[in-house]
Amino acid sequence: MIYLKKATYLSDYKIEITFNTGEVGIVDLSDVPQLCEAAQPLKNLETFKQFYLDEWPTLVWPCGFDLAPEMLYQRAMGKDHSWKQAC
């Protein structure tokens, strides 16, 4: 199972993410507010910067929007996380 160990704001809509695999990657989430109606509050960059890791841990915003670690892994690392590697 893939999950987030750390998320650090970089600039604009870019976040550096450390995964439980030890891999570190950068995700550009600038398209998310346009793609997802629930992410509309994130169009405001100050709101976007308010992300945190919840208890799962995954990336969450106070407005209730979150992103799955698997999707973030795919974007950051350019590959799917294999469940076989985790077992």
- pLDDT one-digit tens code per residue, 17-54: 999 999 999 999 999 999 989 999 999 999 999 999 99
Give phi and psi for 72, each to the nearest 5.
-65, -40
Give me 44's structure tokens.
């405001």
In whole angstroms, what is the distance from residue 79 CA to residue 61 CA?
25
Structural domains of the chain, ranges and CATH numbers in brackets: 4-86 (3.30.2020.10)
Residue 12 pLDDT greater than 80, yes or no: yes
Does residue 57 have a cis bond before it (omega within 30 degrees)? Answer: yes
The beta-strand segments (E) located in the chain are 4-11, 14-19, 24-28, 52-53, 59-60, 66-67
- Res. 84 pLDDT band, cuts 50 70 90: very low
